[in-house]
Amino acid sequence: MSERNFMATNNVIAVSANLRETKINTEQTLDTAMLWNMASLIDLDPRRQNNDSEAHGKEEPDTIYDRGNLAVWPAAHDMAQPQNIAFLMGYAMGNIVTTAAGAGYKHTITPISGGLDANRELPSFTAAQRYGNVVMKRLFASMFVDSVTTTFARDSFVKIAASVKGTGKYTDNVVTEIINAYIDATSLTLAALGVEGSTAALRLANVQSIKVELATGVWTEVAYSAVSGATPAIITIAAPGGTHTLKNFKVLYIPAEAGWMTFPARVNESPLEIAQTVFNIGGTWSGSAFAGGRSLSAEIKSLEHIFNNNGEVQFVPGAGGMYGGRYMRGGRMQTIKLDREFRDFIMKRHVIDNDTFGVYVKAVGPLYDATYHYQTEYIFPKVAVLKAPITVDGKRLAEAGDLQVLEDDTYGSAIVTVQNLQATYAA
């Protein structure tokens, strides 16, 4: 490759899926790259503020204050693999127990009780984004899965979408260097670093901009044509010309990569399809299995589970000022939206009786050994119907049920299991 490619299909995201961070704003090793929707970009959310509330002698603002950043990641996959579910639900719920399952593992995920420490009420992970191939790479510390929506819809893959919030601590692989050199120079030598790239073309592509300050505060673009493979690198430029005087040159480039900038290999798993899904409503959870209840099949249009920690990244003393230092949950809440054909009076009866019941969803994928499948289970021991309005879908009656997930005295509110070949999540 001889030039930067900014096609979004070239984006790559890597995370510390297997190991949680030891404490907030302490980066963990990236261990897994996995597929996400093309628009699932991790980015900074700047906390910049103008001075329109100050008496500064002018009608309009004249200053911007930099108050650091938060990080945001709308993580989503419309063809969810078991690992997408295990990773997001594991970090969202916070409590993971892993046991052997044939040649693989079964991860049982439940909501955390309390928090980890004074600064974290959920485990946090480290993430890195490669933008294009390669415009830049950025490392994000302390990302928290604040909410997750899992959708099981007819004639579709399982879908998962999450809101991930980060403290805003980040590291880029692109640097800016100021070099003081003569205006009639035909080359610039970096202070200490080489430029990333195994070929001359790649190194040239990884120098993104060179400017010279011909007049105070006025920066003019400089043409450049070659970058050496030496350390420090020597960049061949077209001399701006003029009197033999020293000027400041500003070089924007990607240094020779090391550490986190080398992403781990991508883990590939088969997406889970709804055609291989089991729905059970009304059964009683025993701690290991559902007894009774009613299996739903063709009448189900979709079931959507919404999990929300209602959390907030807070800027607190000791974080350094430019990024957050605490994540606090505002009170966990879970709901289920059930969309089905109106064939019977069952849901209406639940509303009238104001009773509770269990809900069970299981999506099964291919075998990973002779006996065990890639799969996920969503188990809700205690659920109540808030409302179930009757609607019309085309020329057929339909029913949209809003269900409240409740916390059972014995079994809690929700249990998510995932079977795959990965040994740990958020350990």
The whole-number pLDDT of residue 274 equals 83
Q: Are residues 278 and 395 in the same domain?
A: yes
Instruction: Give the pLDDT of residue 341.
Output: 67
**pLDDT value at position 296?**
75
Rounded to the nearest integer, the mean pLDDT of the chain is 92
Cβ–Cβ under 8 Å, residues 369 and 312: no
Judge if 305 and 179 occupy the same domain: no
**Residue with structure tokens 């190194």?**
203
Asked if 232 and 297 sit in the same domain, the reply is: no
- pLDDT for 410 equals 95
Instruction: Give the residues across from 149 on adjacent strands.
Output: 161, 306
Tell whether 396 is covered by a domain. yes
Confidence of residue 339 (pLDDT cuts 50, 70, 90): confident
Query: Does some domain include residue 57?
Result: no
CA 202 to chain CA mean position, Å: 29
Residues 81 and 208 in one domain: no
Tell me the percentage of the chain whose pLDDT exceeds 90: 70
Report the distance separating Cα 86 and Cα 15, nearest Å: 13
Residue pair 77/35 in contact (Cβ under 8 Å)? The answer is yes
Check residue 1 and give its pLDDT.
Answer: 45
209 shares its domain with 181: yes
In a domain, 194, yes or no: yes
* 309 and 402 share one domain: yes
Task: Look at residue 345 and tell me whether its pLDDT is greater than 90.
Answer: no
What Cα–Cα distance (Å) separates residue 350 from each residue in 173, 292, 353, 356, 397? 57, 16, 5, 8, 19
| 2 occurs within a structural domain | no
Q: Is position 16 within any domain?
A: yes
At 6-23, the pLDDT tens digits run: 787 889 999 999 999 999
Clarify whether residues 248 and 159 are in a common domain. Answer: no
- Same domain? For 249 and 113 the reply is no
Give the structural domain span for 358: 8-52+63-172+265-420
pLDDT tens-digit map of 183-223 = 999 999 999 999 999 999 999 999 999 999 999 989 999 99
In a domain, 380, yes or no: yes
Residue 167: pLDDT band (50, 70, 90) is: very high
Same domain as 164, residue 122: yes
Instruction: Give pLDDT tens digits for 215-252.
Output: 998 999 999 999 999 999 999 999 998 889 999 999 99
**Average pLDDT estimate for 158-173:** 97
Is residue 191 within 8 A of residue 179, CB to CB? The reply is yes
Q: How many CB atoms lie within 10 A of CB 292?
A: 10
Boundary (domain end) residue, out of 195, 221, 256: 256
204: its two tokens: 């040239």
Query: What confidence score (pLDDT) does residue 351 get?
Result: 74
**Claim to verify: residue 271 and residue 156 sit in the same structural domain:** yes
Structure confidence at residue 253 as a pLDDT band (50, 70, 90)? very high
Higher pLDDT, 69 or 296: 69
- Is 71 a member of any domain? yes
Within a domain: residue 426?
A: no
Same domain, 158 and 274: yes
Q: Which of 5-9, 39-43, 323-327, 373-377 has the lowest mean pLDDT?
A: 5-9
Total number of domains constituting the chain: 2
The answer to whether residues 274 and 239 belong to one domain is no
Query: Could you read off the pLDDT of 347-400 as tens digits, one per residue?
Result: 777 777 778 889 999 999 999 999 999 999 999 999 998 887 787 777 777 677
Establish how many alpha carbons lie within 13 A of residue 372's alpha carbon, considering only the half-sphere containing its beta carbon: 15
**Domain final residue, candidates 204, 223, 256:** 256
Report d(CA 85, CA 158) in Å as an integer: 10
Other beta carbons within 10 angstroms of residue 141's beta carbon come to 22
Last residue of a domain, one of 256, 285, 319: 256
| Among the ranges given (99-103, 267-271, 319-323, 343-347), the one the predictor scored with the smallest mean pLDDT | 343-347
Q: Which class for 279: exposed (0-12), middle (13-18), buried (19 or more C-beta within 10 A)?
A: buried
Render the burial of 100-118: b for 16+ CB within 10 Å, e for the rest: ebeebbbbebbbbeeebee
Round the CA-based radius of gyration of the chain to a whole number and report it: 27
> How far apart are alpha carbons 102 and 379 in whole angstroms?
22
